[in-house]
Structure 1
Amino acid sequence: MIGRIDPPETDWDKLATDSLNKALKQTYNTNLAKNIILFIGDGMGVSTVTAARIYKGQKQGHPGEETILKFEEFPHVALSKTYGNDRQVPDSAQTATALMSGYKTNFYIVGFNDKVTEGNCSAETEENKLKSILHHFNDAGRSTGVVTTARLTHATPASSYANSANRDWEYDAILRETNVTGDCKDIAYQLVYDNSYIQVAMGGGRTRFLPNTTTDTEDGSKGKRTDGLNLVSEWQKKQNEKGRRNQYVTNKLEFDRIDPATTDSVLGLFESSHMQYEVDRNKANDGEPSLEEMTEKAIKILKKNTKGFFLLVEGGRIDHGHHDNTAKRALEEVLTFENAVRKAIKLTNQEETLIIVTADHSHVFSIGGYPYRGNDILGLANPLLYEPSLDKLPYTTLSYGNGPGMNYTIVGRQNITGVDTTSDNYVQQSAVPVASESHGGEDVPIFAMGPMSHLIHGVQEQHYVGHVMQFAACVGKYSNNCDRKVTNPHSASSANEIQFSFLRMIIYGILGVIHSMCLF
């Protein structure tokens, strides 16, 4: 894809008027949200969304800038302020907790309020615990699920079900190795023992659930648990006790054999650690399903509950691609994330399903250099005439503020002339050398469609999203403050409100004229 794609002729007037007419026809859906699907693109800030849309378009043979991602078509958009209670630039645990629980908390904290600080086991009290949207849906008798391309015990998915003073406490041995005193439970343990009601849990992280006496049949790695527990067996036992038809799956063949009609619960652990990047994913029987496929399977299982469901879907490896300064990997993850969103829309009814797409935080990832329109988004930023580098060396359109891409072992910046900057493993250059690129502190977008999605508006604190979900579904804090039902949102009341507003403008206009006449 190296090179430049010339843009087509564009009728800019028509483009704008079409958008204007669409906005004028927009109505509000004030239904009860029977179902909620929260999509979190981990690290998917505004620059990532922009680069991904261009990348998508260019893969389709277009200039790219004019392309839109499916969730960018959603009618309601806002910005989310991602700072944490104690950090200007946050980590995923505190941001995911804000989204899930409607409460801003401290760095590295999962599911606790701001009275708990990193590693403080003694502060893990009941009064400091936060309940997530997943817990609230369970309390209301609705089904719940978690799907991720990261480990199931990683910060973002963990924040939907666990409570931990340290996001790294994914398995029991970590607590012992770091000399934690107290009776704190690891995250994998909490998933199986404290949250066995979750019907669908799929992602990576097998070793966190298995004892160190077991060897992974796929990659030969040892289990990490030292308490002797096989949490997979314990999960199966608990599901059997609930009378659920359950399946534990570890590869695509087993996954494909799951029949949602005859399956009540699924535990899918497809890798010993994180699932594979999409560019590396083994699609064969011994490989693993895509995020889209996991999302589809989860929805088909959960939607059997007539009361409704909540599903968290995380594109976890967007974040990891950025941490490694491998922009192409991050952008490919956004596109597979988009496919999952598209599938969810197809499988649900927007009259009763609220879909929110957002990010937990951004990254120090930028797009610059004045390249021509249609220039390869993974290529060099040319021409240098408008913004030449002082070292006279070429640079890519995409770059990072910090990360492993800074080659500080040589004098001066690496000359990337002739380097294939579009390869899967190319590491973009960065300004500051650090082992792992950091998160960014700027606001991130929120896209919403479905019941009460119009509440996503303006610039909001991140924890506001948690309140919107509770209010839309009439659960949690707002469970006793709701008489909404699933009805036709395009009702006469909306039209009457518009007519009343128009009549009010006419009356105000007449009063204004009378007032002016009185002055003279």
Structure 2
Amino acid sequence: MKTFGFRHAGSAAAALAVGLSVVGAAQSAEPQKARNVILFVGDGMGVSTVTAARIYQGQLRGVDGASNRLTFERFPNLALVKTYSADSLVTDSANGASAMMTGVRTINGALGVDATVNRQSCASAIAGRVDTLAELVKQRGMSTGAVSTAAITDATPAALYAHTSARSWQGDFAMPKEAAAEGCVDIARQLVDAPEAMRLDVALGGGATFFTPAKRLDGRDLTREWAKRPDAAFVDTAEGLSKLPKGTRHLLGLFAGESMARESSRPVQAPRLTDMTKAAISLLSQNPKGYFLMVEGGLIDKAHHAGLVRDALNETVEFDAAVDQALAMTDRADTLILVTADHSHGLTINGGHRDSPILGLVTDAQGKPRLAGDGKAYGILNYQTGPGGPKAGESRIDPTTVNTLEPGYRAPAGIQMNSAAHTGEDVAAYAQGPGAERLRGLIDQTDIFEVMREALGIPAPKRAAKP
């Protein structure tokens, strides 16, 4: 059995590191395999986001935020994860998710392919194709599913089933004619047209634009085609999700044209991430051979990109609620639950009294705002880059003149950019259940794949060496 991360010297510690039982003398014990694996990906959920969300959640509950813990922070196994891509120090969601789904690092913007791929090249994507964990799981007769608050064709959920050199090819109208002529198809088609034995059983999120004939160049209604299959259903409302036809085993749910609305403005007809997680587990658990499910909190990242710090934390709290829902529906004895992020964001925590609102200002002992070098107050939470930065010729906004507690508040940024940039520091991974002991120390993002693969007892794919 392979163990990732650091091992401590000494016979007893070393025995623990490889899952041995020490009773007098060390005796080997085969670790229990997982029947199910659920991977939760908080898109853009770096360590500072986790810390701020923990405080925010506690304060929402009226308790001390600093000593609060999110559900997944109570998991017994923890590792730091390196997140670079094959061509950049800072990964995007495509390579990040693809690395976790395939065990192979690729270039930013690519999915389900190795590092030999060329951006926007159809031929190189076909040549560089690698199997995903979802596909390997299906070959064993297990069920698979993806849940996301982003479009189901967006980078992270698409990493389960798509093989492409361009994550932007979500619909056929987004593809260059040359790529289509060479035999590549859009991501939405890759989901619906996959062979029955390889197709996802559950796909819930946004992205209806890419499946329906209003914009598709081929005129196809992929939602209708999905629903024509035996035991299959398509839904587009929260009510439809809660009242599925009896016997449904294959479910496509699309609840927005592209990304779903953030929780702070979610319409009543759209389900929560927690609702979609519950529905997915209910369906997938019908398979006695087990399942693999990926759940993405996709709007954490999208709120960060817009500098909407309260929404980013609110989405992280909802993401944590989805983890709690999964725990309530599964057995720790047979289900590995792993929580991590694909990359981080440049959110910083810059002081504040123990009982200060995490979305508020840094104050002195008398409760008055502390002033920065420009004579203006500053917030506890700020971004390194983003829309909240001063534009050329402008000075920084005084945060005492705005309500920093409102959902639409854009936190200040040091460098003005239309969209906040990802950052390249390590992210955290948390796990419990069979195989969770493999998660420790400092690991590579591709090792997330190996932890899940080994927990399920799936043989290592025969591939070229990882880049």
TM over 0.5: yes
Q: 1:413 maps to which residue?
A: 396
Q: Contact 2:238–2:271 (CA<8 Å) still a contact in 1?
A: yes
- Give the partner amino acid of 1:72: E
Distance 2:265 2:104 in 1: 37
Distance 1:478 1:132, change over 3 A: closer
Distance 1:300 1:120 in 2: 39
Q: 1:210 maps to which residue?
A: 212
Q: 1:391 maps to which residue?
A: 374
- Give the partner amino acid of 1:401: Q
Q: Which runs of 5+ in 1 are unaligned?
A: 1-22, 212-222, 480-520
Shift of 1:234: 1.8
Shift of 1:30: 2.1
Q: Deviations over 1:78-107 (max 9, x none)?
A: 000000111101110000000111111111
Q: Contact 1:29–1:450 (CA<8 Å) still a contact in 2?
A: no
Shift of 1:341: 0.4
Q: 1:66 maps to which residue?
A: 67
Q: How does 1:97-176 map to 2 (within 5 A)?
A: 97-126=98-127, 128-176=128-176
Q: Secondary structure of the residue that 2:399 maps to in structure 1?
A: coil
Distance 1:69 1:400 in 2: 22
Q: 2:94 maps to which residue?
A: 93
Shift of 1:182: 2.0
Distance 1:125 1:208 in 2: 22
Shift of 1:124: 2.1
- Give the partner amino acid of 2:241: F
Distance 1:180 1:307 in 2: 37
Shift of 1:233: 1.8
Distance 1:270 1:29, change over 3 A: farther
Q: 2:330 aligns with which of 348, 363, 367?
A: 348
Q: 2:431 maps to which residue?
A: 448
Identity %, equivalent residues: 38
Q: Contact 1:101–1:133 (CA<8 Å) still a contact in 2?
A: yes
Distance 2:129 2:343 in 1: 23
Shift of 1:236: 2.1
Distance 1:476 1:253 in 2: 41
Q: Secondary structure of the residue that 1:201 maps to in structure 2?
A: strand
Distance 1:118 1:436 in 2: 22
Q: Contact 1:353–1:451 (CA<8 Å) still a contact in 2?
A: yes
Q: 1:381 maps to which residue?
A: 362
Q: Contact 2:133–2:160 (CA<8 Å) still a contact in 1?
A: yes
Shift of 1:198: 1.5
Distance 1:65 1:160 in 2: 36
Q: Secondary structure of the residue that 1:146 maps to in structure 2?
A: strand
Q: 1:271 aligns with which of 238, 241, 256?
A: 256
Distance 2:459 2:92 in 1: 25
Higher mean C-alpha displacement, 382-391 vs 49-58: 382-391
- Give the partner amino acid of 2:148: T
Q: Is residue 76 of structure 2 the alignment partner of residue 75 of structure 1? A: yes
- Give the partner amino acid of 1:389: A
Q: Is residue 319 of structure 2 the alignment partner of residue 337 of structure 1? A: yes
Q: Is residue 457 of structure 2 the alignment partner of residue 474 of structure 1? A: yes
- Give the partner amino acid of 2:419: S
- Give the partner amino acid of 1:96: A
Shift of 1:39: 0.4
Shift of 1:177: 6.9
- Give the partner amino acid of 1:257: K
Distance 2:227 2:61 in 1: 44
Shift of 1:62: 2.0
Q: Contact 1:153–1:188 (CA<8 Å) still a contact in 2?
A: yes
Q: 1:326 aligns with which of 280, 283, 308?
A: 308
Q: Deviations over 1:266-323 (max 9, x none)?
A: 110001111110111122xxx1111111111111111111110000100000000000
Distance 2:117 2:453 in 1: 24
Distance 1:343 1:405 in 2: 35
- Give the partner amino acid of 1:84: S
Q: Deviations over 1:461-483 (max 9, x none)?
A: 1100101111110124179xxxx
- Give the partner amino acid of 1:109: A
Q: Is residue 220 of structure 2 the alignment partner of residue 229 of structure 1? A: yes
Distance 1:298 1:388 in 2: 49
- Give the partner amino acid of 2:235: V
Q: Contact 2:49–2:347 (CA<8 Å) still a contact in 1?
A: yes
Distance 1:411 1:327 in 2: 22
- Give the partner amino acid of 1:302: L
Higher mean C-alpha displacement, 42-51 vs 178-187: 178-187
Shift of 1:195: 5.3
Q: Deviations over 1:207-255 (max 9, x none)?
A: 10011xxxxxxxxxxx321111111122123x23xxxx22110111211
Q: Secondary structure of the residue that 1:437 maps to in structure 2?
A: coil
Q: 1:305 maps to which residue?
A: 287
Shift of 1:387: 7.0
Q: Deviations over 1:118-149 (max 9, x none)?
A: 111121225x1111111111001001111110
Q: Contact 2:335–2:433 (CA<8 Å) still a contact in 1?
A: yes
Q: Which runs of 5+ in 2 are unaligned?
A: 1-15, 22-28, 463-467
Q: Contact 2:369–2:378 (CA<8 Å) still a contact in 1?
A: no
- Give the partner amino acid of 2:162: A
Q: 1:188 maps to which residue?
A: 188
Distance 2:399 2:50 in 1: 26
Distance 1:362 1:182 in 2: 36
- Give the partner amino acid of 1:426: Y
Shift of 1:41: 0.4
Q: Contact 1:133–1:476 (CA<8 Å) still a contact in 2?
A: no
User: Max radius of gyration: which structure?
Assistant: 1
Q: Contact 1:470–1:478 (CA<8 Å) still a contact in 2?
A: no
Q: Secondary structure of the residue that 1:95 maps to in structure 2?
A: helix
Q: Contact 1:205–1:269 (CA<8 Å) still a contact in 2?
A: yes
Distance 2:96 2:459 in 1: 19
